[in-house]
Structure 1
C-alpha cells in the first residue's frame, strides 16, 4: 500500500471520530509530535461539526 493510499484509509477511519476520542489521543500521546498530530485531527473533527451546525443555522 502506498503512503497516499494509507493516508486515504486513515482519513476514512478518522473522519467520523468523536471529539472525546480525539482528545483522549491528545492526552495519551507519547511524544510532542504525536500530540501535535492528534491535536490537528481534533481540530479537524471540531471544524467539521461546526460547519454542520452553521449549515443547519443552529448557532
Structure 2
C-alpha cells in the first residue's frame, strides 16, 4: 500500500472520532512528535464539529 493510500485510509478511520478519543491519544502519546500529530488530529475533529454546528445555526 502506498503512503497516499495509507493516508486516505487513516483519514477514513479518524474522521468520525470524537474529541474524547483524540484527547486520550494526546495524553498517551509516547513522543513529542506523536503528541503533536494527535493534537492536530484533535484540532481537525473539533473544527469539523464546529463547522457542523455553524451550518446548522445552533450557535
Does TM, normalized by the shorter one, top 0.5? yes
Query: What is the aligned-residue RMSD (CA, Å)?
Result: 0.2
2:23 paired residue number: 23
State the 1:47 CA deviation: 0.1
- Structure 1, residues 3-58: CA drift from partner, whole Å, max 9, x if none? 00000000000000010000000000000000000000000000000000000000
Q: Name segments (4+ residues, structure 1) moved above 6 Å.
A: none
| Structure 2 unmatched ranges of 5 or more | none
| Structure 1 unmatched ranges of 5 or more | none
Give the length in aligned residue pairs: 59
Give TM-score scaled by structure 2 length.
0.99
